[in-house]
Structure 1
């Protein structure tokens, strides 16, 4: 099966500013490159400044005179999230698009890792820190009637949240923790769309997933273990390159989105690859995962995140 397919045509984004998390490599830098090629100014918060500079150089090599503003952000440190949000709010930075692309998946590593803030690492990096960043930036996003794009995963379609073990402390496997963190992110996305609609709009939401992307830095231990196996060969044949995988988030960034989705469990538009098993193929609209659209669960994950962040903020410093 060919891995070549048409890319969505983006409108002119000159005068718009896009913040993309996780844009120092992989799918994220390709999302950023696509937005810059359409004329958007970029804010790229990165954990590793050297990798960030390298990504900016790659974008500049293919896009004439892009506006690229590198910032610091480590999603595994909530103090870093707060510092970025505080700086952008103080500057009243224009934000027209927020793409929550960054994430980790520690498949192949059986050890449960905890951030310096005390949260399971998948839970914090993929969900909680993005919740903290987005909610802190809501005043800026509302000012520009911005779009927020949530990058989910195929794992969110087959995973679930165990509310009595939200951070996989009782029973940990990396795939379970990763999948649950992406379900939590999807629930947050749908709840943000509902709340924004109830408040009269101001922010629109779209969801995406990249399919399978064998050629990224994700899950190196698993990839090393399974190289040459049948599942690896299938992913290589049906999956995406990073540039192809970026197309679903780019489509989510510019597609028409209703300002006020109706119905108790209606989700924002969801875009993913249209090929076999949704591993690869042209970006297209898809049915959202059943687990992320429940209104009660969406409200619950929002409340849990607020409580966890409040408790962390009130905790005495070491």
Structure 2
């Protein structure tokens, strides 16, 4: 059965990547529970369509579009400035946006000088979250870090953090999600030791065959079992949103993030439930290291070799 959210009236939530797919369903769930939901989007046309879709089921939803391109640090800074000016506090921040350029063999570098997956999926979210810390601390807010199954099977190469030497889109994507998960763990630790009052939870949606990424995944499948899994196993976008929604509202105390995902076969689909965190994301040394490196990269703005 679908999860039931508590009354979120009076709460403000910010959901990145909510213009389509799983993200719009996360925003729909929060808005349906009464939260005011801010949708920072890269494409305003898609954002307007998302608002219309949410209002089909929740006509009185309190929704606001704002601009955000995580591949541009000036856009991240501008959104943080806007949110600080418009909101006295943020109760919930869902770091959901992400890209994976399957089928594209070219390594793309942003105008800021970072590999595109690395900046969009991790570094842009790091910059946004740290810029919003005053608003998050005001309400002892919750941060939900949306990972993926790739984070459980991928690794960071600390000597090739941005896949400059060995680039493949799926490798770059997985590494960026590992970095994001490590960041979530370090954010939780710093909140606890620094008395920030934040709680941090992580989640993954499993597989959602009806989202934009699915056709590219199916195109890469070679037939047999892999093709069947890519085509048929998983959840609808609405159900794939439930782990993040559960992470947003489940009782929690400060400390290491809990992890939520689908409970079915290989965690590809099924009902949302607590799960064991991916071991590589729980290493305190790696968590501290990725935070420190992110701070260095943002400070230096040096184009990687």
For the structure 1 residues 52 and 229, does the alpha-carbon distance in structure 2 shift closer, same or farther, using more than 3 Å as the test?
Answer: farther
Contact 2:209 2:232 in 1 (8 A): no
Task: Report if the CA contact (8 A) 1:18-1:43 is conserved.
Answer: yes
- Quick one: which of 280, 286, 300 aligns to 1:297? 286
The 5 Å alignment of 1:179-194 reads: 179-194=174-189
Extract structure 1 runs of 4+ deviating beyond 6 A: none
SS of equivalent to 2:172: helix
Q: Match of 1:82?
A: 77
Aligned equivalents of 1:181, 1:192: Cα separation in 2: 16
Structure 1 residues 108, 288: CA separation in 2 closer, same or farther (over 3 Å shift)? same
Alpha-carbon distance in 2 for matches of 1:224, 1:278: 21
Where in structure 2 are there 5+ consecutive unaligned residues? none
120, 129, 134: which one aligns with 1:125: 120
Matches within 5 A, 1:218-229: 218=213, 220-226=215-221
Aligned-pair CA distance for 1:219 = 6.0
Q: Distance in 2 between matches of 1:170 and 1:214?
A: 32
For residue 213 of structure 1, the aligned residue among 202, 208, 215 is 208
Query: Could you say which residue in structure 2 is the equivalent of 1:147?
Result: 142
TM (norm. structure 2) is 0.96
**Residue 174 of structure 1, CA deviation:** 1.1
> Which of 3, 24, 41 in structure 2 is aligned with 1:8?
3
Structure 2 equivalent of residue 264 of structure 1: none
2:89 to 78, 89, 94: 94
Distance in 2 between the 1:228 and 1:52 partners?
Answer: 35
Give how far 1:123 is off. Answer: 0.3
- 1:228 deviation in Å? 6.5
Instruction: Give the number of equivalent residue pairs.
Output: 303
What is the CA-CA distance between 1:87 and the residue it aligns to? Answer: 1.5
Cα shift at 1:224 = 3.6
Please tell me the root mean square deviation across aligned C-alpha atoms, in Å: 1.5
Mapped to 2, the partners of 1:97 and 1:110 lie a distance apart of 36
Counterparts of 1:84 and 1:220 in 2: how far apart (Å)? 31
Gap regions ≥5 residues in structure 1: 1-5, 262-266
TM-score normalised over the length of structure 1: 0.92
Partner of 2:153: 158
Note the alpha carbon deviations across 1:162-206, whole angstroms, 9 max, x for none.
000000001111111111100000000000000001112421100
**Separation (CA, whole Å) in 2 of partners of 1:297 and 1:22:** 26
